[in-house]
């Protein structure tokens, strides 16, 4: 499965924050949108970095009670893991494993166009396994293919 096929099943909106927003503002955004990852940018398609729930937890561990009022620019991840819309799902899975990340930013040229999360990977692999199971069951039962 190609990354672009996964993006078609998701909301087209890529949620981003500015570098000047505070950590607590981002955490509220995470809560309100039921997400755990945002792109940091000043304009659509731009990526200055990313911020995840994990990054926020590390900030609290390092800076304590100052963390919620810190700027996103002070704690964002500048080493962004990316893939292309043309990449295959196993490649994205290997990126997640090798880089120990739960999110991969999807790029179309120089523009960020979406995010593939570990939840997306699990969902699509599970769907694929269920389709395979059904095909094998149909084959064993002698059900004709359509």
pLDDT band of residue 25 (cuts 50, 70, 90) is very high
Q: Both ends of the chain: CA-CA distance in Å?
A: 21
Burial class from Cβ neighbours inside 10 Å (0-12, 13-18, 19+) for residue 108 reads: middle
Percent of the chain with pLDDT over 90: 74
Query: What are the φ/ψ torsions at residue 104 (nearest 5 degrees)?
Result: -125, 125
pLDDT tens by residue, 88-131: 999 999 999 999 999 999 999 888 899 999 999 999 889 888 98
| Close Cβ partners of 67 (under 8 Å, ≥ 6 residues apart) | 23, 56, 59, 60, 75
pLDDT tens by residue, 30-72: 999 999 999 999 988 789 999 999 999 999 999 999 999 999 9
Look up the pTM and report it.
Answer: 0.84
The answer to whether the CB of 38 falls within 8 A of the CB of 15 is: yes
- Whether domain 1-139 has CATH 3.10.580.10: yes
């Amino acid at each position: 499965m190609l990354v672009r096929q996964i993006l078609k099943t998701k909301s087209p909106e890529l949620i981003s924050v500015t570098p000047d927003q505070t950590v607590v503002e981002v955490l509220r955004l995470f809560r309100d949108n039921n997400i755990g990852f945002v792109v940091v940018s000043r304009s659509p398609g731009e990526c200055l970095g990313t911020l995840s729930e994990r990054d926020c937890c590390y900030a609290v561990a390092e800076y304590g009670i100052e963390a919620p009022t810190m700027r996103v620019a002070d704690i964002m991840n500048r080493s962004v893991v990316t893939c292309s819309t043309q990449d295959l799902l196993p490649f994205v899975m290997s990126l997640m494993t090798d880089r120990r990340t739960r999110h991969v930013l999807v790029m179309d040229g120089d523009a960020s166009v979406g995010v593939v999360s570990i939840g997306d990977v699990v969902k699509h692999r599970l769907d694929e396994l269920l389709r395979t199971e059904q095909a094998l069951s149909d084959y064993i039962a002698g059900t004709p293919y359509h």
